[in-house]
Structure 1
Amino acid sequence: MKRAIHIFPAFRKTEKIQDIRYIYDPLSDKIPPHITLVFPFESRIPQNELFEHVQSLANAVAPFNLTMNGVTGSGGKYLFLNVKQGNDALIHLHNELYTGILAPFRNHHITYTPHITLGRIKNQEECTMAVEKYKDWEESFHTVVKEVVIEEIGEDDHSHVIGRIRLDDNRF
Structure 2
Amino acid sequence: MKYGIAIFPSKPIQDEANSYRKRYDSHYALIPPHITLKSGFEADDATIEELIVELKHIANATKPFKVNINKVSNFSPVSNTIYFKVEPTQELVELQQQLHRGKFTNNMQHSFVPHITIAQNLSDDEFSDVVGTLKMTKFEFEDSIDRFQLLYQLDNGSWTVYETFVFGKEKV
TM-score after normalising by structure 2: 0.88
Q: Contact conserved, 2:14 with 2:32, CA < 8 A, in 1? A: no
What CA RMSD, in Å, does the superposition of the two structures yield over aligned residues? 1.8
Q: Which deviates more from structure 2 when the two are superposed, residues 53-62 or residues 116-125?
A: 116-125
5+ residue gaps, structure 2, are none
Is 1:11–1:143's contact at 8 Å kept on the other side of the alignment?
no
Alignment length (residue pairs): 166
Which whole-Å CA distance do the structure 1 matches of 2:98 and 2:3 have between them?
17
Counterpart in the other structure of 1:44:
44
User: Helix, strand or coil for the counterpart of 1:56?
Assistant: helix
C-alpha displacement at 1:52, in angstroms? 0.8
Spell out structure 1 runs of 4+ moving beyond 6 A: none
Q: Is the 8 A contact 1:76 1:128 kept in 2?
A: no
- Structure 1 position 66 matched with structure 2 position 106: no
Task: Please say if 1:83 is aligned against 2:86.
Answer: yes
Structure 1 segments unaligned to the other structure (5+ residues): none
Residue identity (%): 25
* 2:41/2:107 contact within 8 Å kept: no
- How far does residue 54 in structure 1 lie from its aligned partner after superposition? 1.0
Judge which range, 91-100 or 118-127, deviates more: 118-127
Q: Note the 1:3-152 alignment, pairs <5 A.
A: 3-44=3-44, 46=46, 47-74=48-75, 75-84=78-87, 87-103=89-105, 105-107=106-108, 109-152=109-152
